[in-house]
Structure 1
């Protein structure tokens, strides 16, 4: 039967036992407390000018410091209650905003709730601002607590109500108790409370407080131990929730980003924009993949996730120094719960490294147009950027198949060579000029120099390119009889118009490109050796797309987003089978063919996802043949024969992971086991799922 004058001693002993079991020991420090002396100290404190320097009498330093903060913060010492929000919408918002904390505390509160009835005590949960979001315990105490607004919606930080177990625990970051007269406000001095902060396991920030409160007689030394143990249990539950969410977000990423490669940098953020998974992302400002420093680590805040979750809003929400990444929304149960930030991998020599030697904004802009990171491509970019920044090299030969993007390298040289905004870039395709007009187009002519010549004369492209760059595409098509004149202009830097004896000085950097093997052309007598050695002193070979590996995926993404933006549409998605086919295709038309294909798919696609059957027959057929070959020779994708049950199980899991593209839900279904069992076996066998 409950004692009307105080808490039930049997229930109090049960609480002590619970605290002991949870913490391993009781807090038995002797508490020296004198009610009258504490009240006199409080009255004296209020009558004097508050100063933190005075030596308090009969008051703990923790309490005195809190009194000082309360007084200087404008708290009314005669206050009788905390501020309370009873607005239903605001309470509902608090519940939604703290759903994870409430969920994590549910088990602890349920078990303690049975012990608190009849003890005269109540257990409350406050959020990081000290606002109460849950309360359980003795029914009468819960009722009486509302007299001072110790209930859901009450605000109990020090800025609102001065010294108390909740607000002071938030301030100090440690488990504390505030007993009776130690409270700052007169209206709550009949209460005692013990509070312990709850820290987010991910980043260590205080996100709430658990507090045991009641009238003064419930005070026991172990109250602080009880709330500290409860706070640890809630933190443990939070950690379990976060681990589950991390796993689900990783699964969602695998399903939504099939073209992710292991060497790419990956950061996954949770719904609060904090990094919960980092892989292959360099620390500090050494990374070449971002415009500013980033030190990704578990729990680091990176961005605010927009409410809409659209690709556009998500991209706009990225900080400036993360704009170089590809961001993907991650949804769980239909709600935006995180995002994946993918950074293109950075080889030993990157495009950024290649152009950083020159502090030239035009060069950086031109290099950004060259998409790819294969070693052969980056080597070509490095040479072109060196030529662009050199004053001694006046010509460059670019060799490569049709469609590889040779003109982009010519523009890269122009960008790095520019001294003023008006330096010209003149391009001419030698394969598009008739034999009779070559001389006039290259060198110009005076009026009436030949039949059909303009009356006023005309400058040639050398004069037009003076001070800049002249790009001669397909120079292998240049007629043999014109070649000596071109060589003379390059060596003397003087051009003579047809029909004119007067020379005109020109300062031109020549970038010649060809899809032919000029060495063979020289051997066959179709190209002058002296001209070849003059223009080919420095040469680069732009690799065909089939030799650039995963650059195909980067180019697909680049053109996909570029074309979608121009048309005001969403980018297309590509299935794993479609991407495999695109990767294995030989691309005879190179980058130009790939761009044309993406444009065609944007026009012809019936839905937002490109499947294998949506690709042209010559591309999809190659992938089907490859799949058939694997089916005919399954041993090609299996490891060596196993010799034990564990080896067989390990191999079965690996094969299922490969077959399902790393989707753990499908892998578990394929193997006929639950997802928790699959997680356990992945850890047991040390199996890493791609980037995991």
Structure 2
């Protein structure tokens, strides 16, 4: 780097004196220098000198770009904070709109007039990442002496243009710092950020999240006045919150959105765009994406417009653009059982560490709920949470799905290559559900990633350093799988630095009361015209069952019985489950001469019976057996069951 900087300083001086460019100077820089010379830019300056005449108007005209880019800039800055870097956002003309950075670099930026509202095009400040990237309409990195203005020779800048969904230039994002910290990865970071901004802008346009009129908006809308009183609510809001108009007009907005400081937003004229927040209604939490825009008329705050939509509608699209997010927290776990509370306390403690975790337990015991809660309780909560069901990935695609692949790695591979789930989880957590289903060759590569935090894409040669916490989960007994040589012993011990064993429902029978009440309350909220009460006899009957499907099975049984209750009262007389429950109760006494049937035989016969009952429809059979389709396929192969027969 020092040799290159010395060369560039010499080449720059020679060009300033003679007007001739050294042939070793890369073409983008050489051509930019020549343009700057024609513009008449002072090479001994390089400071901003043209300010937008109306900065407020500039900001207003670019409010959507700023509102989308700001969270992404903050996310990037959270990773580089303290390293001497700053992030800058400009409009399509080169005027700076937003700046985030360390104090020392901001002081240096001030000296260069690298300030909001300043124009940073080539014809004003000379060759620089923002101006040159906008001119060339492509990502650009400038280091030290590559800058035309001498005042910028101590800087390294990486910029990438931002386009709308039609390919029109709308702005530029830039990351700058001391040239000693120059790295090619910086350009990759801002290029990825620009792509995320572009996609989110398209998403916002599609869903009209920033539209504040009742006639055109497709989201829920609540209008409040300066005294926090609800003045108007649209039908979409009533549907999302599942309340009546009369209830809505009596809502306390501070209770409904208790994490938002409305007085502060109104007093400081703050706007919140596209934030994930929780709406609390009747002790129920509804996760939404919301925008909050103060209403200001002739300088006076007259209230606020809140637009929102349920996160489940946009979460899949948002995840594709900016990663994944865990929804659940420890407070979402419904329990009064002391063993469960002890397990949660242990999980909270290890969540603060950065160790790998293995969650073992039966199906339906909430392993992913615990994994998401750990992520949200950890210091990685602002990073992505990527969940992968290892059993659902075809064997031949496991490595490329987890670790990614380079272009041309195999027939049918994307020509651009593809990042794997581990790369998408960088800076956050990856949850490998049903990890016991991984093929041995994929286990070997996973072990390497766990050992040094590096991976190589399929077909690649470059090692990528990752910062990913791994949480694995399985309903298998992995030590038994090790004995069967289906799972690597070294991977097991590397993965289970911290081990959590979930508690089956039969060992927390005292939780059935609170769980049933929770499920029924949610169903009552969902079905406003049907209010079902819970009889003690129903709870007592449920407590007799062994619950092999655990919480998932309990939820399904409660939902089925809820909808089968014609007289709006759950009791033992109208629950079909009660008629068969006695046959499912675990035997407490086994006679000495009773014939014991091996579990494998019972399982095989159960699968055959389910397939027969469902006329060979494996999807219906898997639901009847309360197992995943991938698990059903594996067991069919294991027992050599003929589906056609």
**Bigger Rg, which one:** 1
Q: TM-score, normalised by structure 2?
A: 0.40
TM-score by length of structure 1 reads 0.37
